[in-house]
Amino acid sequence: MPRILLVEDDAEVRLLVEHVLLSAAYEVDSAETLMTGLTALGRRGYDLVVADGRLSDGTGMQLADRAFEKNIPTLIMTGYAFVLQAAGVDLGRYHVLLKPISPQELLTSVAKALTPPN
C-alpha cells in the first residue's frame, strides 16, 4: 500500500485531504509545516508527497525539490498559483493542483503520480 506524506498548514484542509486518501486505502503521514515535512521525509520512505504551495514556514516547492532528490513524485496543491508565479516561482517544474480540489480530482492525480512511467 503506497505511503503518502501530506504537508498542509490549514488543519481543516489537511483533515479533509487525509480522509480522502485514507478512504482510498493509502497510508498517510501528515505534517503542518515545511520543517516537519522535511523531517518526516528524511526519516521515512514515501511513495508520494502532497504539499500545499504556501506553508507557514516556506513552500511546498521547497519540499518538492527535496523529494525530487529522493526520486519521490510530488503534487502541489495551491489556491495561490498567480501569487506564486508573480513572486518568481516557476510552477511549470511541478505538478500543480489548483484549490479547491474535488476528492475525485485528488485521487485521479495521486493515482497518476504513483504510476511509473513506461
Q: Which residue ranges make up each domain of the chain? A: 3-114
What proportion of the chain, given as a percentage, has pLDDT over 90? 74
> Is the pLDDT reported for residue 89 higher than 60?
no
> Is the pLDDT reported for residue 33 higher than 60?
yes
Q: Band of the pLDDT at 78, cuts 50, 70, 90?
A: confident
CATH number listed for the domain at residues 3-114: 3.40.50.2300
Q: Band of the pLDDT at 5, cuts 50, 70, 90?
A: very high
> Is the pLDDT reported for residue 93 higher than 80?
no
pTM: 0.90
* Cα end-to-end span (Å), the chain: 21
Average pLDDT over residues 95-117: 90
> Is the pLDDT reported for residue 85 higher than 90?
no
Q: Which three cell numbers stand for residue 108?
A: 485521479
